[in-house]
Each structure stands twice: as C-alpha cells, then as structure tokens.
Amino acid sequence: MTITFVGHGYVGLVTASVFADLGNKVYVIGHTPKKIEDLKKGLIPFYEPGLSEMVKKNIERKRLIFTLDYKPSVSDSDIVFIAVGTPPQKTGDAELNSVFEVAKKIGENLKNGYTVVATKSTVPPGTNRRITQIIKESKSKASEFDIASVPEFLREGTAIEDTLKPDRIVIGTESNKARKLLIDLHKPLAGELSESFPNVLETNLETAELVKYASNSFLATKISFANAIAKLSELLDADGLTVLEGIGYDKRIGREFLYPGPGYGGSCLPKDVKALLSIASDHGYDFTLLDEVEGINQQAKRDIVRKVKRILGDIRDKKIAVLGLSFKPNTDDMRDAPSIDIIALLQKEGANISAFDPQAMENAKKIFQNVTFCKDIYDAVKDTDALVLITEWNEFKEVELKKIKKLMRSPNIIDSRNIFDPKTARSLGFEYLGVGR
C-alpha cells in the first residue's frame, strides 16, 4: 500500500517508519527544508531507541521517502495521515491551525480517485468534521475521499514496540470503505489475533477523537492518585509503596501508573488534561476531578523541593545535584518535564544546580539558565550538599553509592522515583528521603 504522513514528529516519524518496515511505500511530508534534508540522510531530530536504524534501513530500501512536496506523495497515496502537532494554547485549547492548513493542502493534491484521509493528531471532538469541510472546499471534482480518526497511543521510549504491538487500534469513521482500507493497513500489527480483530474499536469520529483525551487524562489521574496516597502515607507513617502495590493487585485497577514520584510530564498528559478541561468547559461541564488531578501534580513537584529543605534547611548557596532531566527515561524530551519546575523552585530559593542526563542535556540547555551541566553522574555530585533524583534512567539504578558519598560535601539523597534501597543508603551514612516511604 502507498501511504503518506504529513508531519515528522514522534507520531509521524515512528509510525511512518514502522509501516515502511512492514513493506509499504511511505512518504513523509515536512515544511522545513533543513529537517527534510537531515531526515533523508537518516538524521533523527529526537532520541527514540531503535528508530535511527529503522529509518536508515527503509531509506536504503526506498520504502521511506522524505519530501516537502504534497503533489507526488498525496496524489500517489491510498491513505494520507495528518500527524502534525496540536500544542496547547494559554487557554488549554489545542492549537489547530496547522491541522487545518494541512487539510487544505491535502485537498488540493488528492488524486483523481479515492483516498482515505486519517487524522492521527490529537484533536478535540468535532475537528474531523471541520477537516472534512475544508477538504471538500479545496479538492477537485474528480477526487473522492473519506475522513477517519485514528488516534495514536505511543509512549516515548517504547514507541516502536507500541506501534508494532498496540493494545488497541481505534478507527473512527462513518465509511465502510475507509474502515476496510484502514483495517487492511493495520492487519500486520494484529500478530496472533484472529481475522475479526478483537482489539480494533470501530466507532464514529467524535468517539475516536475523545478516546485519546480520556485515555491520557485517566492515566494522569492514576499518577496523581498515587502521589496523593504517597503524601497521606508519609503523614500516617504508612508505607505508601506497599499500599499502592496492594491496590494494583486488584485486576480491576492494575499496577501500571500507580507509582508516586515528582508528577507527570511529557508531550501528552499535561497537554491532554488541559485540553479535556477546556473541552468540558466549552460544553458547560465543570470537570472538577481533572482540576484536582492537575493540582496534585503541581504539588508533587513542590513536595520534592520541600524534602530538600527538610534535610538542608535554608538552601541558599547550597549546591544541589539533579540526576535526570527528561520527563521519563529513554527519551530526550523535555516538554513539561518535572525537572523544569523543580529546578526553577530550587533556584528561586537560592540553590546552585549541577545536572546530568544521559540523553536530554542539549535540549535542557535551551531551557535552563545558570545550571552547570556535567559529563557524568559522579561529576554532577562532586562537592554537593544533596542529590535529587528526578528521572529513573537504568544507569542511575546501578551507581556506586559509596563513591557518590565520598564525592559529596554532605551525603543527602532525595529520591523522587524510589530507585535506591533506603536501608542500603542509610547504612552507608546517607540521609535519605523517598516518596511515600
């Protein structure tokens, strides 16, 4: 099958590469000449395990084609995916101008025949109706199309695996022809599943659009609930991690995302919670539950700083090492990373910050001022008064705590991800604080 992705961010580039790897001819359209030229050389603009190798392989096999031109790509395709960003506005609403601009260009370049236009961008319910109208107004009379909403559910750091082995495939469309074509495209992802595709949810446009917002907001709710239980457990001298483990054994609840920490971040959860709040408000519904989810998330970041102050007292002129800057491991993504607010709060109190992250340093340098970026973990902790662990990279779990203690001025650990064993840390002479412990 021949398909096109408009947009080469996480969603567009990863999904396009996977479909190319499955044997399809895949065009990827961008609008920045430099980025397209870099992609043609196999240079990836972000870190995602395994993606660089997959892109280079499929460029060599001429299955993955990067271009600035809509004409040959859209005109040649059976399915065209819209995969451009929908960043939040100050109001929380999704910015949709890029989506609508792309829809117009797609309409102008549709082939004389039939094409499915499928939206992978996260958009509010009703957006695909607007896209339909824009394409109708811009297309030629000889071209026919149907619209579909096919939201993505990728996790940064495991995006290729998530694309190849999805939990579910949501197809929102009112056209049986479009539905069949999209199911045919996704069949290789079904693995051992039967021809009936039990993991495919077939629905209308608005339902498919809302599924993505609802899914991410529910995950954010689980994280904030875990942080609230952790906070309460500390006040009651209970073991919050064991409480959450006990909750997670219930099959109706599940263990995933029930881990306390410094709050959620990244490109999806903060944005989609705000967007769903805005969507609800626009329709007269006061979604107070999500207001509290956001509030708890902000408090989780402040609580990490309070723990630093609990150990050190006045932190003015104290040197603090921050390990982990990206919002999660296995990515260099700094969007809404908890480290941003935590470092800002520490600096506001007068602390001096040294930092290390295995992948996100270059992106972090664009955000932080007056932070000393270090070459490795041990360089970061040298002569510091406290170590604050924010991102749970695997290499941090294997650090030599004895060596760290010798390098630090004062042996204090604030472990926001609970990756160190408290008994081991304390037996070595560290003052240790985790979350919920």
CA distance 167 to 199: 7
Residue 367: exposure state from Cβ atoms within 10 A (0-12, 13-18, ≥19):
middle
Alpha helices in 93-141 (DSSP H): 97-109, 127-138
- Give the three-state DSSP class for 356: strand
CA angle 307–360–328, rounded 5-degree value: 55
CA distance 275 to 271: 6
Tally Cβ neighbours within 10 Å of residue 403: 12
Is position 268 annotated as part of the catalytic site?
yes
- Give the three-state DSSP class for 67: strand
Question: Do 335 and 272 contact (CB within 8 A), yes or no?
Answer: no
Which residue, among 253, 336, 335, has the nearest Cα to 300 in the 3D structure?
336
Instruction: Please report, for residues 120, 261, 329, the alpha-carbon distance to residue 157 in angstroms, rounded to integers and kept in the order given.
Output: 19, 18, 7
CA distance 165 to 188: 10
- 171 — phi, psi (to 5°)? -125, 110
Choosing from 106, 148, 258, 268, the catalytic residue is: 268
Place of tokens 């081991």: 424
The per-residue DSSP string of 266-306 comes to SSSHHHHHHHHHHHHHHTT---HHHHHHHHHHHHHHHHHHH
Which residues are marked as active site? Answer: 268
